[in-house]
Structure 1
Amino acid sequence: MTVRDTGNSTINVAVIYYSETGSVKALAAAAAEGATTTGADVRLLSVEAASSADMEWADVVLFGTPSHYGTIAAGLKTFIDSTGDLWRAGKLADKVYGAFVSSASTHGGQETTLTNFTTIFTHWGGIIVPPGFTAPVPLVEQMLSGNPHGAGHVAGFGIPPTKFALDAARHQAERAVMVAAQLMGTRLLGGLH
Structure 2
Amino acid sequence: MTTPKILVAYYSTYGTNHAVADEAARAAREAGAEVRLRRFAETAPEAVVNTQDAWKDQLAAHSDIPDLSHDDLDWADGYFFSMPTRYGNVPSQVRSFIDTCGPIWQEGKLANKVVTATTSAGNAHGGQEATILSFYTTIMHWGSLIVAPGYTDPAVGEAGGNPYGTSIKAGAFDDAGRAAVAHQSRRLTEFATRLVATA
TM-score class, shorter: 0.7 to 0.9
Identity %: 39
* Structure-1-length-normalised TM-score: 0.85
Displacement after TM superposition at 1:184 (Å): 2.4
Q: What residue in structure 2 maps to residue 130 of structure 1?
A: 148
1:130-149 Cα distance to aligned partner (Å, 9 max, x none): 011112x366414x2x5000
Once the two structures are TM-superposed, the CA of residue 90 in structure 1 deviates from its matched residue by: 0.4
Are 1:26 and 1:166, in contact at CA under 8 Å, matched by a contact in 2?
Answer: no
Q: 2:163 aligns with which of 127, 145, 148?
A: 148
- Please give the TM-score of this superposition, normalised by the length of structure 2: 0.83
Contact 2:156 2:166 (C-alpha < 8 Å) held by counterparts = no
Partner of 1:161: 173
Report the 3-state secondary structure (helix = DSSP H, G, I; strand = E; otherwise coil) of the residue aligned with 1:185: helix
Partner of 2:45: none
Partners of 2:15 and 2:30 in 1: CA distance: 23
Distance 1:139 1:92, change over 3 A: closer
| CA distance in 2: counterparts of 1:9 and 1:139, whole angstroms | 29
- Helix, strand or coil: the match of 2:166? strand
Q: 1:184 to 1:139 in 2, by over 3 A?
A: closer
Aligned length: 173
183, 186, 191: which one pairs with 1:179? 191
Q: For 1:62-81, what aligned pairs fall within 5 Å after superposition?
A: 62-81=80-99
Q: 1:55–1:92: 8 Å Cα contact kept in structure 2?
A: yes
CA RMSD, aligned part only?
1.5
Match of 2:103 among 85, 94, 104: 85
Q: Structure 2 counterpart of 1:176, which letter?
A: L
Structure with more of its chain in strand, by fraction: 1
Structure with higher helix content: 2
Q: How does 1:26-37 map to 2 (within 5 A)?
A: 26-37=19-30
Structure 2: tracts of 5 or more residues without a match: 42-66
In the alignment, the residues of structure 2 paired with residue 139 and residue 79 of structure 1 have an alpha-carbon distance, to the nearest angstrom, of: 29
Unaligned 5+ segments in structure 1 are: 1-7, 187-193
Residues 183, 76 of structure 1: CA spacing in aligned structure 2 closer, same or farther, 3 A cutoff? same
What is the letter of the counterpart of residue 102 of structure 1?
S
Alignment match, 1:11: 4
Tell me which amino acid in the other structure corresponds to 2:112: D
Distance 1:138 1:185 in 2: 28
**What residue in structure 2 maps to residue 190 of structure 1?**
none
Distance in structure 2 (CA, Å) of the matches to 1:162 and 1:101: 14
d(CA) in 1 for partners of 2:156 and 2:35?
A: 28
After superposing the two structures, state which structure 1 stretch, 39-48 or 90-99, moved more: 39-48
